[in-house]
Amino acid sequence: AQSVTQLGSHVSVSEGALVLLRCNYSSSVPPYLFWYVQYPNQGLQLLLKYTSAATLVKGINGFEAEFKKSETSFHLTKPSAHMSDAAEYFCAVSPNQAGTALIFGKGTTLSVSS
């Protein structure tokens, strides 16, 4: 079964520092991968998605992620953290390319200090 593992349930960075949130996937077929963000008391908002068109995917709010097949990874990065980036971030994979369900990781809470 397909799954995603997010390493680190909590990541803390200073404002202006690099953000790196880790996601590894397991999949027997080329996957579709997604990063979602959840702000307090809100639903999930799509940051970016990987659909095999390009290995480096740019998303909203300055985030990007790189698909590395050899490492089965899809880590999320942002060069310079902003206070408003503090939220919970979820990596998700689609179990099959003709399906509808998303399988989510456990999430990583990002804290940004001034």
Partner 1 sequence: EPEVTQTPSHQVTQMGQEVILRCVPISNHLYFYWYRQILGQKVEFLVSFYNNEISEKSEIFDDQFSVERPDGSNFTLKIRSTKLEDSAMYFCASSQDIVPQPQHFGDGTRLSIL
Indicate whether 43 belongs to the interface with partner 1 (CB under 8 A): yes
Closest approach, Cβ 114 to partner 1, in A, equals: 27
Cβ distance to partner 1 smaller for residue 40 or 70: 40
Cβ distance to partner 1 smaller for residue 81 or 107: 107
Within positions 51 to 80, which residues make up the interface with partner 1, using CB under 8 A?
Answer: 51
CB 67 within 8 A of CB 61: no
Interface region with partner 1, contact rule CB under 8 A, candidates 10-18, 62-70, 79-87, 100-108: 100-108
Indicate whether 49 belongs to the interface with partner 1 (CB under 8 A): yes
Indicate whether 22 belongs to the interface with partner 1 (CB under 8 A): no
Please give the Cα distance from 32 to 4 (Å, whole number): 12
Burial 51-71 (b: 16+ CB within 10 A, else e): eeeeeebebeeebbbebeeee
Please give the Cα distance from 82 to 107 (Å, whole number): 19
What's the N-to-C CA distance of the chain in angstroms? 41
Q: Which residues bind partner 1 (CB under 8 A)?
A: 32, 34, 36, 41-46, 49, 51, 90, 92, 94, 97-107
